[in-house]
Amino acid sequence: MRKGSEEMRVKVLFLCTGNACRSQMAEGWARALKSDVIEAHSAGVSPCFVHPLAIRVMKEAGVDISGQYSKHVDELDGIEFDYIITLCDYADSKCPFRPGQGKRIHRPFEDPIHARGTEAEVMAKFRSVRNRIRAFVEKMPENLKEPSPS
């Protein structure tokens, strides 16, 4: 956390593989619910696009992430994060190590992009992941000091 004339907000990077769903949702929730205490960013280790269903389910919940874009973690080089939160095992294993880049925390969430079935079943998976990410973000930054749940 930075001190002085700046606000004391925790800088957080949400990282997943494609920066398409989970990290975009987490960034959106953090901005919507915790902008007073968290400066949120998201990126991927293999960025692609922001998934339209992620945008849709977040909009249903009152959060607009349509202006966010998928970016590579290297695009954020130079930002000193307090926490780097990996949201999938692949990103956790591929996240580049940078000295002084804050505490790394692994909190995996299932990737809804792989959901199959009817439109209703796929949407249910996206909503479930959205809601679980919201519950995680609502408890931030206090829950970042806790050990990872097993």
Q: How confident is the model at residue 124 (pLDDT cuts 50, 70, 90)?
A: very high
Instruction: List the single range of 21-25, 57-61, 78-82, 125-129 with lowest mean pLDDT.
Output: 78-82
Q: What is the pLDDT of residue 19?
A: 95
- Residue written as tokens 């591929």? 94
Report the alpha-carbon distance of residue 28 to residue 136 in Å, rounded: 13
* Any domain includes 150: no
Q: Report pLDDT digits (tens) over 9-22.
A: 999 999 999 999 99
Residue 81: what are its φ and ψ, rounded to 5°?
-85, 145
pLDDT at 4 over 60: no
**Number of structural domains the chain divides into:** 1
* Any domain includes 3: no
CATH number, domain with residue 79:
3.40.50.2300
Which of these is catalytic: 45, 88, 113, 140? 88
Q: What is the pLDDT of residue 38?
A: 97
Per the annotation, the verdict on 88 as an active-site residue is yes
Which of these is catalytic: 10, 13, 95, 133? 95
pLDDT at 115 over 60: yes
Cα 111 to the chain's mean position, in Å? 12
Q: Report pLDDT digits (tens) over 59-87.
A: 999 999 999 999 999 899 888 999 999 99
CA angle, corner 101, sides to 96 and 102, nearest 5?
A: 120
| pTM given for the model | 0.89
* Any domain includes 2: no
Q: What is the pLDDT of residue 5?
A: 34
Q: Residue 86: which domain range?
A: 10-144
Per the annotation, the verdict on 48 as an active-site residue is no
Which of these is catalytic: 12, 13, 15, 16? 16
